[in-house]
Amino acid sequence: MSVDAQSAAVTFDPQRLVTARELKGFSQVDLAREVTGGLTSASVSQFENGHVRPSAATLERLATTLDVPVSFFAARRRPPVADRPNEQPEPDVEVHDRAFFRSLRSTGIRDRRRARALTQVVHLLVQELEYAVELPAYGVPQHAVPLGSDLEEIAGQVRSALGVAPGPVPDMLNVLERHGVVTARFRVSADKVDAFTIPYPDRPIVVLGADKGYRDRSRFDAAHELAHLVLHRDLEPGDAALEKQAHAFSAAFLMPADDIADRLPARADWRRLIDLKLEWQVSIAALLMRAKTVGPMSDAEYTKAMKALSARGWRRQEPADLGAPETPRLLSAALKVAAHAGTTLEELAARGGLPIQVLRTVLGPSINPRPSVEL
């Protein structure tokens, strides 16, 4: 019996078993069936609920089946909350299921759970990094406003608080990362798992799809996730009304009415819309909606313009490609600083008992945004 297994048995963290299982896409029944020597699904449930602590031998079998180091199951100390250094964060189990997904109807529960599990591994890496390097302090302001409120003023206040000058936002991910939000890109098995946020109490993480290759859509996604941190961090996700409110905030944040309203067309002037797209780094569809919301475009003209957009095939692929999506830089920069100070990714993974192969897969698109050639 390994020392790591014996130690993990004593300090077993049930949430880590949940995470490892969901990384594999297993249900409790699946895991019970796959473990060498067999387990009952009731046993797995008791382990995950913390009612029963697995033996060292059982943990070794679970680790082999789930492709994680046995030390992954051991509880770890956690760094203080980023914006409240004297306060310890809540247990991760409290926020594990609080992920703001764009649409619960279009994403299966197993895919959502795997996406959360991958993000949990990133979060655990960030916690290890916090002991090696000093990350930017979390500084996103929070506003509690009723649904249906006008978000123009609040979006302007948030832009000012985050140091965003009037006009187009130069780099949406940079705005998030400079204020302590960890961002990452990785591909989840389901195409419909889009951008999402997990509001961990110590440091929120925003995940953007690695397969969404449109810069304008990705920027809007990032602003949408910022909206959840500003407006909904303490609320329960899953409400379509919250998603609609976040969408409205995104538009106001990226295209402030005071800066853009008088430049928007009253009709579908494609040349002007393309010029605005290139300047503001947002989609034509978003500009049309903005023209209807705060500009001179009537509802009838908006409907006509959107029909024309569809007829031209531009709902799927607009003209005037803006290039590659913005690249997350915080994790990459932090890992470089840590390595320069003598702590490699492999050492961080070993300290946290983290599966290095999962980290490399998850961090790959963030560290190297170029798509890989698969044969």
Give residue-wise pLDDT tens across range 226-244.
Answer: 999 999 988 888 788 999 9
Interhelix angle for 215-231 vs 152-161, to 10°?
90
Residues 191 and 103 sit within 8 Å (Cβ to Cβ):
no
Mean pLDDT across 89-115? 63
pLDDT band at 91 (very low <50, low <70, confident <90, very high): very low
Least confident of 88-97, 183-192, 195-204, 238-247: 88-97
pLDDT at 79: 53
pLDDT at 88: 43
How are beta strands 182-186 and 205-209 bridged, if at all?
Answer: parallel
* Alpha helices (H) in 39-86, listed in sequence order: 41-49, 56-66
Q: Which residues make beta-bridge pairs with 198?
A: 205
pLDDT at 362: 85
Looking at this protein, which amino acid is placed at residue 16? Answer: R
Mean pLDDT across 58-72? 97
Superfamily of domain 1-75, CATH level 4: lambda repressor-like DNA-binding domains (1.10.260.40)
pLDDT reading at 266 higher than 50: yes
pLDDT at 23: 94
pLDDT at 152: 96
pLDDT at 232: 93
Question: In a 10 Å sphere around its CB, with 0-12 CB exposed, 13-18 middle and 19+ buried, how is residue 102 labelled?
Answer: middle
Question: In a 10 Å sphere around its CB, with 0-12 CB exposed, 13-18 middle and 19+ buried, how is residue 37 labelled?
Answer: exposed
Rounded Cα–Cα distance for residues 23 and 26 (Å): 8
Least confident of 89-103, 133-147, 236-250, 321-335: 89-103
**To the nearest whole number, what is the mean pLDDT of the chain?**
89
Residues 64 and 170 sit within 8 Å (Cβ to Cβ):
no
Spatial CB neighbours of 191, under 8 Å, sequence gap ≥ 6: 211
Mean pLDDT across 52-70? 97
Question: In a 10 Å sphere around its CB, with 0-12 CB exposed, 13-18 middle and 19+ buried, how is residue 105 labelled?
Answer: exposed
Q: E-assigned strands of the chain?
A: 100-101, 182-186, 196-198, 205-209
pLDDT reading at 97 higher than 50: yes
Q: Which residues make beta-bridge pairs with 84?
A: 81
Rounded Cα–Cα distance for residues 114 and 21 (Å): 9
Q: How many residues does the chain have?
A: 375
Tokens of 47: 């382990």
pLDDT at 92: 44
pLDDT at 148: 82
pLDDT band at 99 (very low <50, low <70, confident <90, very high): confident
pLDDT at 86: 43
| Phi, psi dihedrals of residue 12, rounded to the nearest 5° | -55, 130
pLDDT at 78: 59
Mean pLDDT across 251-271? 97
pLDDT at 83: 47
pLDDT at 364: 80
pLDDT band at 223 (very low <50, low <70, confident <90, very high): very high
Domains in the chain: boundaries: 1-75, 81-255+326-375
pLDDT tens digits for range 300-320: 999 999 999 999 999 989 999
Nearest Cα to Cα of residue 200 among 282, 332, 341, 89: 89
pLDDT reading at 360 higher than 80: yes
pLDDT reading at 374 higher than 80: no
pLDDT at 90: 44
pLDDT reading at 191 higher than 70: no
Rounded Cα–Cα distance for residues 145 and 129 (Å): 34
pLDDT reading at 290 higher than 70: yes
3-state DSSP assignment of residue 227: helix
